[in-house]
Each structure stands twice: as structure tokens, then as C-alpha cells.
Amino acid sequence: MSELDLNRRMFIAGSLGLAGIGTLSTRAQASPASKAKALPKSFLFGCAVAGHQVEGNNVNSDFWVYENVNPTLFTERSGDACDHYHRYEEDIALTARLGFNCIRLSIEWSRIEPEAGFFSQAEIDRYERVLECCHKHGLAPFVTYNHFTAPRWFAARGGFSRDDSSELFARYADKATSRLGPLIAAAATFNEPNLLQSVFWHKASLAESPKAMQMAAAAARACGSETFVTFYSSGSDAIQANYLAAHAKAYEAIKSVAGNFPVGVNIAISDEQGVGPNNLATQRQKDCYGSWLEAAAKSDFVGVQTYSRNRTGPDGDLGPEAGAELTQMGYEFYPQALGATIRHAAAVTGKPVYVTENGIGTEDDTRRIAYIDAALAEVDNCIKDGVDVRSYIHWSLLDNFEWIFGYRPKFGLVSVDRKTFERSPKPSAHYLGAIARARTTRS
């Protein structure tokens, strides 16, 4: 398997442009899902962005270093990204105008603590303004404390391979929550900390590929360090143990400061389907999700992030069926996976389920609409069967920086002009927004 043939988003991650948002397409008005039973008043129906992927110029982060060394696995730099750093109010207003009641976003550790022990008051102030803006526009902010990236100083000292890493992450969570906590509706400590376990089952190891090792060595030299450990190395048992400890300590820190809101962890989880006798699907499920579902069971909720299914035989991963429709990321178009993952997460943890990511990388927006219809039908079926599902958050609001794949994959409901940054809502944005407006209490 080539280094770019890795499954999943990451490696396997002027004017507002509001014209026409108030005039919904015929198809949006006729959506079957929009006519379904109203959702609970507290149900969060929204879309997501993530700091490094949309803000731009995250120069103190570990991934910025990776993007700018030679050799690098990244096909292009994040650069200005979507300039959400300056245009956040435009994006938040757009999200509200479309009809959503929630936006999921991340705060960047590398901005808040650009050097070890130094916390930027200016950056915390800015994130406070971002969250205040969400409330101004009637959106519940769902905050992720770590969406893959970390400060470059943290990577240069060994990242989560160091035993004290969990304490440093909890310290950051404490500082951020002390100011931002009163404005947060719900939060996750980590975004998909288990993703590397899934990659291993696809017979791919990014951290151990020759080019990745050369990239890490170049990054270490760029930082004047002997090591440079990032999320790309998180697949080892030792590093996963430190991630788990960091989640537990951050959870306690958040709750003890100003965490009067639900706190959990967002898990990358696929519908694991066994094929043939003696298949390894149950073992795969345990390896990829087991420890993090246990962690979620000790938290307030489990965040489910689902895109497709995995087929597993007696010798491991089988890949998609011959002739199956594939997305831009190379995995199967299979929105029905969401029902199975919601049910599994709820059954194992006994906790409420927040769907924190679900979507499709495609240039064909009609397929995005079809994906949305099928995925929401699964959510409805789970709710009808008594599963405590409390959100549907679509990935993503904007076409953004998708990690080593750059700007090629299109997950957004809204396109972004790479030169002018003009936002242009796609038909799917109107479509899903109409469903959200019809099924929640937004006026």
C-alpha cells in the first residue's frame, strides 16, 4: 500500500455569500427527512469545522512543521486555509442562516500555549469572542480541545510518548476552560484518538513508512530537537495509554474548573462487518475501539464519527466489494454504517450518543444529498428504537484542508474560493439546513 493510499480523511483529515440561502430548493423543501418527527428540543443539529483545517497560519503547531519540511507526506501546505481565523463571524452567521442550531469547532492548543508554560491571553480572548459569536447567532458551540494538532514544542519534547504528557494536556484544558467554560455547550477532549488503530488494520502504518520517518527527522532538525512525535505516531500501546490518561485528567480538569456541560471523547468508528467463518471482525472492533469506548463509559457521552463500513475476513481487512461506489477518500459509499455504530457505541458505553462527524468526500453534491438522506434515516431509526442520540453534526461546513491530501477532497456543504475565500453554499447546504430547521425549534 502506498503512503497516500491510506483509508480515511486524515491519512488513511469579502462578502458572506448568503444570497439565496433563504430560498430553499424544491428538493430541500420536499426532503423526506424534513417531514420526519420533530427532534427533542435539546437535539444539536449542526456542522463542523476544525482549527488547523480552516483557521490558517497555525505556525506554532506540529503539523505546520510537517507541512513545511523536506521531505513531507503533505501534498500541499495548509497556508491560509479558509482564513476562518479572521472570517469566523461570517462562517458562524452562515451556519445559523442555513438553519442549524449547533456548530462544532476546535480550539488550538498551539495558539493558546505557543511555548511551554506561556498561555496567550490574546488567543484565549479571541476564542472567547468566537464562542460569544456562536451564542449571538443562536448556535450551541460544541468544542473539541484537541483535533489532531499540538504545539510544536510539545512534539519536539516527545509528544504523547512522554509520561508527563497527560499532565501537560490537562494543564492546557484547565487554562482554556477557566475562561471559555461558561460559553461551551458540549465538549470533547480528543478527536479520533483511536484512528491509528484503524489504519493498522488496513495494513498501513504511516509513522513507520520510510518517508514519514524522514519527515519526522526533518521536523526534529527544524525544531533543534532529537525527536518529533505527533499524532501520526499514536498507534503504539504506550502512546495510546498516555492519550487515555490525558483524556481522564483533562475530563477531571474541565469538570473541576467550569465544566457544567457534557464532556466526552469523539471516536472514529466504522460499521465492522464480518465475512465468512472465523472472521476477525469482533477482534477488529475490540482493537480499534475497545479502550476508548471504556473511556467514554466513564465520561458524559460518546462521540461517534462514522463514514463507512469495514469488511473483515479470517485474514483481516477485505476492502470494499468489487464494483462498490467509492468516495474521494477511497472508502465505500455506505451511509447505512451510522446506525450500526450508534447502536454499538450506546450498547457498550451505556452513555448518550452524540454524532459528531458524518459526511462524504465527493465532487458530486447529489451524492452528498443521497448520503445525508440515508444517514439521517439511520439516526431516526435509532431514536425510534429508544437509543439516546443527542446530535447530528455533519462534516463539514467548509471545503477545507484535508491533512496529507491537501485541498483536493471536498467534504464541505460550502465551497471556498482558494484565492478570494468567498463562501458559496452548495445545494446540500440548503438541503440539510432545511431539514435542520424543520426538525428543531429554530424559527
pTM of the model: 0.93
pLDDT bracket for residue 7 (50, 70, 90): very low
Please report whether residue 164 resides in a domain: yes
Residue 17 lies in a domain: no
Statement: residue 64 has pLDDT above 70:
yes
Model confidence over 270-312: pLDDT tens digits?
A: 999 999 999 999 999 999 999 999 999 999 999 999 999 999 9
pLDDT tier, 206 (very low <50, low <70, confident <90, very high otherwise) = low
The pLDDT tens digits for 210-239 are 999 999 999 999 999 999 999 999 989 999
The yes-or-no verdict on residue 17 having pLDDT over 50 is no
| pLDDT for residue 202 | 77
What is the domain range of residue 343?
26-438
Q: Which of 439, 423, 410, 425 is nearest to 9 (CA)?
A: 410
Q: What is the pLDDT of residue 32?
A: 54
Do the domain assignments include residue 3? Answer: no
pLDDT of residue 94: 98
Q: Mean of the pLDDT values across residues 399-424?
A: 98
Give the CATH number for residue 274: 3.20.20.80
* Chain segment 137-195, per-residue pLDDT in tens: 999 999 999 999 999 999 999 999 999 999 999 999 999 999 999 999 999 999 999 99
Is residue 349 scored above 60 in pLDDT? Answer: yes
Q: What is the pLDDT of residue 29?
A: 44
- State how far the Cα of 133 lies from the Cα of 281, in Å rounded to an integer: 44
pLDDT at 290: 97
Predicted local confidence at residue 208, as pLDDT: 74
Structural domains counted in the chain: 1
Q: Is the predicted pLDDT of residue 25 greater than 70, yes or no? A: no
Look at residue 6 and tell me if it is in a domain. no
